[in-house]
Structure 1
Amino acid sequence: MTAKPRAITLAWQEAWKQFREVFPYLLAGVLIGSLIYGFVPTEWIAKHAGGDNVFAIPLSAIVGIPLYIRAEAVIPLASALVAKGMGTGAVMALIIGSAGASLTEVILLKSMFRTPMISKRKGSAVLTVI
């Protein structure tokens, strides 16, 4: 086998491996988004996280912190929340809160940094969201 076909084969194998790793999370995001879309009342989301509620963004940021929303799950989840009446700012706060200040990230960072550094990082992430 020449170098070019071998490189293509290796690229496809790597792409397939990464797809298999990501697919369960993508599927979970679609499932969660579908459940929200199907079972959470539109009025409830619009009332608590709609554009008219001044506390929607800080509340969404705080709710997002304990969550760990993978990048593959963000689009279906955000789509379902916006379709149900959640403000786009609140959706962004939820996403940034879950990505920038999640408990999973704290656990990972704890192995590399001391507590004051992690606290400053988390505090700046929350302030950025709000």
Structure 2
Amino acid sequence: MWREAWSDFIDVLPYLLIGIAIGSVIYGFMPTDLLEQYAGPDNPFAIPVAAVIGVPLYIRAEAVIPLAAALMAKGVGAGTVLALIIGSAGASLTELILLRSLFTLKLLAAFLAVIFAMAMIAGYATYLFF
């Protein structure tokens, strides 16, 4: 049992390390000015853009609240921030690379579609009601 678990871990490890490296680069060098420019509170098209940007990001739970507060303080709409958070928490690049080693492309595409849809629904609901 231990050997089988170790073997599975070794098989997945390269994908995990590549995902962590790519996610770290994106997370460290993603300019917030770019998001602010296209994600103002009066722009309903900012929500899908934020959901698309959020998916490859790797945002840990500890970083979500300060990130959301900073973006909203700079003028980014609440629906846009929510779509970004749901997209990034639901499907980070690291997670997608890991899941790719376990699942087929069809299942991975379905997973991405659900995460993207939930981010959009929550973002537009916040945009419309708040």
Greater relative contact order, per chain length (Cα 8 Å cut-off, separation 6+): 2
1:126 partner SS: helix
The Cα of 1:66 is off from its aligned counterpart by 1.6
Q: Does 1:53 align with 2:17?
A: no
- The corresponding residue for 2:103 is 113
- The corresponding residue for 1:100 is 90
1:66 partner SS: coil
- For 2:48, give the aligned amino acid: P
Name segments (4+ residues, structure 1) moved above 6 Å. none
The Cα of 1:95 is off from its aligned counterpart by 0.7
Please, which of 68, 72, 78 is the counterpart of residue 68 of structure 2? 78
- For 1:81, give the aligned amino acid: L
The Cα of 1:53 is off from its aligned counterpart by 0.4
What TM-score comes out, normalization by structure 2 length? 0.62
- The corresponding residue for 2:54 is 64
The Cα of 1:111 is off from its aligned counterpart by 2.7
Q: CA RMSD in A?
A: 2.3
The Cα of 1:50 is off from its aligned counterpart by 1.8
The Cα of 1:91 is off from its aligned counterpart by 0.4
1:128 partner SS: helix
1:89 partner SS: helix
What TM-score comes out, normalization by structure 1 length? 0.62
Structure 2: stretches of 5+ with no match in the other structure: 1-27, 121-130
Structure 1: stretches of 5+ with no match in the other structure: 1-31
Q: Distance in 1 between matches of 2:44 and 2:69?
A: 21
Task: Kindly tell me the number of residue pairs found equivalent between the two proteins.
Answer: 92
2:56 partner SS: coil
User: What fraction of aligned residue pairs are identical, expressed as a percent?
Assistant: 54
Larger-Rg structure: 1
1:58 partner SS: helix
- The corresponding residue for 2:119 is 129
Q: Distance in 2 between matches of 1:66 and 1:112?
A: 18
